Amino acid sequence: MDGEALPAETGVGRVALTVGDLDETVEFYESVVGLAAHETDGERAVLGDGETPLLELIEDRSAPERARSAAGLFHTAFRVPSRAALGDALERLDDRWELSGASDHLVSEALYCRDPEGNGVEIYRDRPRSTWGETPDGGVQMATEPLDADAVRRAATGTDAVPAGTDVGHVHLEVTGLDAARAFYADALGLSVRASDGGALFLAAGGYHHHVGVNVWNGRSEPASGRGLDWVELRVPTESAVDAARDRLDRAGYAVEGTADGIRVPDPDGIDIRLASR
């Protein structure tokens, strides 16, 4: 059984990546994904939709590449508010990069690629919640079907930047074990399992299809290390929600630390999860 729930208003805030070449990686997220640079200082860059910071890039040329056996990031999923914005992203990928996949997940339409450092990137748009199907156990019905890419391209407007309202809709992680991940993300942190698919779990607050995905598809066997994912931030509506999550995590024996605006805690694979109030 899942534990106490995080509030329905919970969502993903920022994601931070450690990279070897900051300039090259910033160029990708600006010109291909369509994010805007909010801050740059030579070793760190913050990008977003022009209003809200979504991605932090931290340069560390001495950091080793992530080991093939290490847990970590599967992809960061940037959610755009319309099919037109998704069409614009597809045009940028066609013109400037390499698309590695495109899928219709019933609840969403999604494009996939990798950034210059090999980090997975998803750009997607949700279908209206009223169209989402439900499984017999009360979960959300998802699938992986071919995307109607031509229809998505026809919706494009030729815009180079993501529109205001773009956010990080979810983060998908590679973990070493689903039981341990479920105990942390559902039973202690307070997300609900919305779907499971072989070697993956999809967890969310408020009935969303997923704010966090975890999978064991590539057989990762070691804790997270090296370049790639530095931390993931979840945002909740109130300080009391942070406090309640901290109590659950403390009771479950996880090593929680306070931060300026909330808490941080490593998941079972050493992936740094932060919780902050809006």
pLDDT above 60: residue 233: yes
Q: HEC profile for 84-143? A: HHHHHHHHHHHHHCCCCEEEECCCEEEEEEECCCCCEEEEEEECCHHHCCECCCCCECCC
**Can you tell me the distance from the alpha carbon of 74 to that of 77, in angstroms, rounded to the nearest whole number?**
10
Q: What is the mean pLDDT of the chain?
A: 97
Cα(99)–Cα(94) distance, rounded to whole angstroms?
Answer: 7
Three-class secondary structure of residue 219 per DSSP: coil
Banded model confidence at residue 229, pLDDT cuts 50, 70, 90: very high
Residue 8 CA to residue 97 CA, distance in Å, equals 36
Q: Which of 60, 8, 14, 37 is nearest to 264 (CA)?
A: 14
pLDDT tens sequence across 116-144:
999 999 999 999 999 999 999 999 999 99
Cα within 13 Å of Cα(173), Cβ side: 31
- If pLDDT is split at 50, 70 and 90, which confidence band does 247 have? very high
Q: How confident is the model at residue 1 (pLDDT cuts 50, 70, 90)?
A: very low
Give every CB contact of residue 15 below 8 A, 6+ residues apart in sequence. 54, 55, 56, 76, 168, 171, 229, 231, 232, 233
Mean pLDDT, rounded, for 255-277: 97
Strands 72-79 and 120-126 turn out to be parallel
Mean predicted confidence (pLDDT) in 47-51? 98
Q: For residue 217, what are the CA distances in angstroms to 114, 145, 174, 193, 263? A: 17, 18, 8, 18, 30
For the chain, percent of residues with pLDDT exceeding 90? 97
Q: Is the dihedral of CA 140, 215, 261, 57 positive or negative?
A: negative
- Share of residues in the chain with pLDDT > 70 (%): 99
CB 34 within 8 A of CB 92: yes
What is the pLDDT averaged over residues 18-30? 98
What per-residue confidence (pLDDT) applies to 2?
45
Q: Which helix (H) or strand (E) holds 257?
A: strand 257-259
Q: How do residues 52-89 score in pLDDT, each as one tens digit?
A: 999 999 999 999 999 999 999 999 999 999 999 999 99
Q: Bridge-partner residues for 146, per DSSP? A: 103
Model confidence band, residue 8 (pLDDT cutoffs 50, 70, 90): very high
Which tens digits make up the pLDDT trace of 137-191?
999 999 999 999 999 999 999 999 999 999 999 999 999 999 999 999 999 999 9
Residues 6+ positions from 196 with CB-CB distance below 8 Å: 139, 202
What domains, with CATH codes, occur in the chain?
11-277 (3.10.180.10)
Predicted model pTM: 0.97
State the average pLDDT over residues 9-24. 98
pLDDT of residue 158: 96
**Radius of gyration for the chain, computed over Cα atoms and rounded to the nearest angstrom:** 18
Spatial distance between the Cα atoms of 189 and 167, rounded to a whole number of angstroms? 22
